[in-house]
Every structure is written in structure tokens, then in C-alpha cells.
Amino acid sequence: MTQQPANILIIDDDADILQTTRMVLKKQYANIFTERNPQKITEFLKEYDFDVILLDMNFRAGHTSGKEGLEWLRNIKKFNPGTQVVMITAYGDVNLAVKAMKEGATDFVVKPWDNQKLLATVTSAYRLGRSQKEIEKHRVRESTLSSDMDKSFSKIIGKSDAMQSVYSIVDKVSATDANVLILGENGTGKELIARDIHRKSARAEQVFIGVDLGALPETLFESELFGYTKGAFTDARQDKAGRFEVASGGTLFLDEIGNLSLSLQAKLLSALEKRTIYRIGSNKPVTIDVRLISATNMPLYEMINENSFREDLLYRMNTVEIHLPPLRERRGDVPLLAEYFLKVYSAKYGKQKLGISKDALKRLDAYHWPGNIRELQHVIERVVIMTEEDQIRAEHLMLTAEESPQGLSETLNIEALEKEAIGKALKKHNGNLSQAAKELGLGRTTLYRKMEKYGI
């Protein structure tokens, strides 16, 4: 008979009862714990997560009221409401058994018992507990996923040589469980690539959980990723699974990984190495099984040299690296993307007959797109909303950072000039950041930060 991977605790002041019960149950359940002193119940609950607890009703000689057992039952249910408790009584008092059930007991057994009856009772309690845990797991998972469901993710569009190279890597890595690091500027579609890897993987039927670390305050990092137990802090009114736990079996996508502080990097590394996490307020390890995909627009290798990013964490994350090209390097993809967004937004705003002229497409294709696909998407949505004609022409586009024929624009605003200079340098050097930084007289890291500041 295969043992169930369960934790069973038996509490009774009779050593013979403990020994006999243990022998009956150990054939079917992996971990059997016995204890004569009920005062140690709290210690056990802090250290282990029990599937079933068998609890005696009376612990002192001559006492038959069952008050002690009921009090300990309340304490157990208060500490962990999901634990299944089977009461043990030697007196067969039906009224007392009914009272215990009202207090939260799953069932009861009467001493002396038939061993098969005992085993059947414990098995029924164990199965009930497992079912309840699965229901709760699905409830938490659905709750966590509901926010992600509101997002609209388009398909990947592009036929350029630059994107063909990306597709090739995606197809190869999707068939594995390797961790992936996606590098690329803001707005290039890093999350779309992560989702595509997930959809093509063996984990496709499981969940995809995304976390924007750039928008996550440092104080909420542990509670969001690792979860917490009820009472762990002031607002912890109930147990909550973290993103690692919810994503177990599926894919966890950590966006803006370069924004993590060194202390948080250490905690993330520990979770990845040990494949276990601890909810805040608990010392019980939770095993995790996630496929990790990370993304950033920051220069992680330079950050390692500056001691602002851990080298061991980088090599834990980047079994495979994917460099996502900026839109200015994806020759021929801009018209395809523009047509796609036009179809989406003309349907959304009830302008299905709206078209786009060749001159408009040519102008879009010639623009350097410092904000990448995200900027193109916003430009198309805006022009669909604003135009009152049946066709979008070049003059309707209102591109915000377009270059003038004379070079830099006539503005004297320092930030506008700096943004425009960065755009020109990037275009001149075909997106090569090292060469652009050199021409601008900036360090590569400084250039990255300014690009992030200006949304380039």
C-alpha cells in the first residue's frame, strides 16, 4: 500500500492508545506524530502543517466533561482553521460529540474502537481536508488571476529579419523549462514574448503570473511574492498566497527585474536556489515549481560592475537571453503594426470604415519611434479618435518628437533638446547604445537612465 504524504498528529494521555493508533495509521500515512501533553499542541502547529489531528476529549484522571478537549479544539481551529480534527472519547456521549462537531471537529471515534473504523474515519477526514485545500487554492488563484484577465494582450506582429531571429530563439527555448531573460527598451513588447514562450511550453495549461517589480514598493515585495499568514502584520486579516505559490506549476514573469535593490535580489536568489519560499509570519517551507521569465531595459552587466546587481542572480535567471530589437531596427514591421492597431481601435471606437493612406504609412515607417511599439499604439489610437475623415493622412499623425529638416528643433527647453539629441544619436547608430552614448558624451548606464526618464 502506498503511503499518503500526510502529517497526522495524535494527542492522548494514554501511551498505549498512542502506540496502537500509530501502528494502525503508519501503514497508510507517511508522518505520524504522537504526544501525551496537550500543552505542546501549539509548538507542533507552529512547526508542521497537519492534515488530520486526533484529539482526546479528556486529559486528567476522573474528568469526563470533555471541556479540555473542546478548549484545545478551539485553539487548533483558531490557529489553523483548515486542519481536520477527529475527537477521541471513551464514553460515547453523543451530545458531547455533537457539541465538538459544532465547534469545528470533522468527526469523532469512540474508545475502544475497531481499527478499520478508525482508519476509515481518518481517511475520510484526510480526503475532506485535501478537497478543501484544493478549493481554496483555486479560489486564491482565480482571485490573483482576475486582475491579469482585465489586460488585453495582442499577438506578436512582425516579419522583419530582426524579429525572425527572436522567433527562432522563442521556439527553441519554449520546449524547455529553462529560465529566460528578455532584454530590450521600454515598449518593445517584452511581456508579449514572455507570454508566447509560456503558450508554446509544456506549462501552457497552467497559469502565467506577471509581476511588475518597477511598480512594486520595496515594502510589499515579500508579501506580494511570498505571501503571508493571518495576523503576520496589522492588515493581514487572512492567509494569502504569494505570486510564487500561485504560479507554481506554471510560469512566473518578473518585469523590470533591474529595479530590485540588492537586499531584495538576495531574497529572490534564495527562493530560486532552494525552490522554496516562506510566507511572512510562518516558518513552514512551501515548495515551488515555477518557470521563471524575467525582463528589463536596464544594463545588467554594467550594473554588476557597479555592484548594483548580483552576478549570481543574473546567471540564475539567464539560462537563455533574448534581445528584443527596438522598433527602429524592425524594417517593414511598422506598417504591419499600424494596420493592426488601426483595425483594433477603429472597431473599438465605431469607425470600421476608416483607412490609412500610403503617405501616412510611409511617414510612420520613416519615424524613429523612441517609444517603440507602445508609442505607435498610442499614435494610432489618438488619430482614430481625433480624425473625422474616412482616411488617415500623413498630416493627421501628430508625431510628437519628429525631427525637423534643419536638425534639432527650435525649442530651447533643455530636456526637450536632450531627448531629441538622444533620439538622433540612436537613429544615427541604428540603436547601438554604446556608440550613441559615446557620441553624446555619456556613460552607457547614464544613457539608459535618461532613455527611461524620457520614455525612449
Output the CA torsion sign for 44, 49, 53, 57: positive
Q: What is the pLDDT of residues 335-352, one digit of tens each?
A: 999 999 999 999 999 999
* Grid cell listed for 84: 481536520
CA-closest candidate to residue 341, choices 305, 381, 312? 381
Which CATH fold topology does 161-323 show? Answer: Rossmann fold (3.40.50)
Helices 333-348 + 372-386 axis angle, to 10: 40
Measured distance CA(168)–CA(179) in Å, rounded: 17
Q: What is the pLDDT of residues 67-90, one digit of tens each?
A: 888 999 999 998 888 899 999 887
Measured distance CA(286)–CA(275) in Å, rounded: 9
Q: What is the pLDDT of residues 191-212, one digit of tens each?
A: 999 999 999 999 998 999 999 9
**250: pLDDT confidence band, cut at 50, 70 and 90?**
very high
Measured distance CA(32)–CA(21) in Å, rounded: 9
Measured distance CA(220)–CA(232) in Å, rounded: 13
Q: How far is CA 67 from CA 12, 57, 77, 107, 224, in A?
A: 14, 7, 15, 17, 41
For residue 142, pLDDT over 50 is answered with yes
Q: What is the pLDDT of residues 298-328, one digit of tens each?
A: 999 999 999 999 999 999 999 999 999 999 9
For residue 432, pLDDT over 90 is answered with no
Q: Do domains 161-323 and 327-396 have the same CATH topology?
A: no
Measured distance CA(59)–CA(11) in Å, rounded: 9
Q: What is the CATH number of domain 414-454?
A: 1.10.10
Q: CA gyration radius for the chain?
A: 30
CA-closest candidate to residue 63, choices 18, 21, 96, 15? 96
| pLDDT for the residue 57 | 86
SS3 state of residue 257: helix
Measured distance CA(123)–CA(129) in Å, rounded: 10
| pLDDT for the residue 61 | 64
Any bridge partners for residue 10, and if so which? 34, 54
| pLDDT for the residue 405 | 35
Q: What is the pLDDT of residues 252-304, one digit of tens each?
A: 999 999 999 999 999 999 999 999 999 999 988 999 999 999 999 999 999 99
Ramachandran bin of 278, using left for φ above 0, alpha for ψ from -120 to 50, beta for the remaining angles: beta
For residue 161, pLDDT over 60 is answered with yes
Beta strands in 214-272 (DSSP E): 227-228, 240-241, 251-255
CA-closest candidate to residue 292, choices 332, 250, 334? 250
Measured distance CA(25)–CA(39) in Å, rounded: 23
Lowest mean pLDDT among 214-223, 278-287, 399-408, 418-427: 399-408
CA-closest candidate to residue 86, choices 3, 2, 25, 1? 25
Quote the pTM value: 0.61
For residue 400, pLDDT over 80 is answered with no
**251: pLDDT confidence band, cut at 50, 70 and 90?**
very high
For residue 35, pLDDT over 70 is answered with yes
Neighbours of 354 (CB within 10 A): 19
**406: pLDDT confidence band, cut at 50, 70 and 90?**
very low
Measured distance CA(33)–CA(145) in Å, rounded: 37
CATH of 4-133 given 3.90.1150.10, 3.40.30.10, 3.50.30.30, 3.40.50.2300:
3.40.50.2300
Lowest mean pLDDT among 21-35, 226-240, 296-310, 409-423: 409-423
CA dihedral defined by 344, 345, 350, 356, rounded to 10 degrees?
Answer: -100
**178: pLDDT confidence band, cut at 50, 70 and 90?**
very high
| pLDDT for the residue 25 | 94
For residue 404, pLDDT over 50 is answered with no
Q: What is the CATH number of domain 327-396?
A: 1.10.8.60
| pLDDT for the residue 243 | 94
| pLDDT for the residue 407 | 41
- DSSP structure string for 105-144: --EEEESS--HHHHHHHHHHHHHHHHHHHHHHHHHHHHHH
| pLDDT for the residue 279 | 94
Measured distance CA(439)–CA(419) in Å, rounded: 14
For residue 91, pLDDT over 70 is answered with no
Longest dimension (CA), the chain: 102
In the chain, domain spans: 4-133, 161-323, 327-396, 414-454
Identify whether the C-beta of residue 58 lies closer than 8 Å to the C-beta of residue 96.
Answer: no
**Helix ranges, 349-443 (H):** 358-366, 372-386, 414-428, 433-440
For residue 177, pLDDT over 90 is answered with yes
In this prediction, residues 216-234 reach a mean pLDDT of 90
In this prediction, residues 16-30 reach a mean pLDDT of 92
- How many percent of the chain have pLDDT more than 90? 60
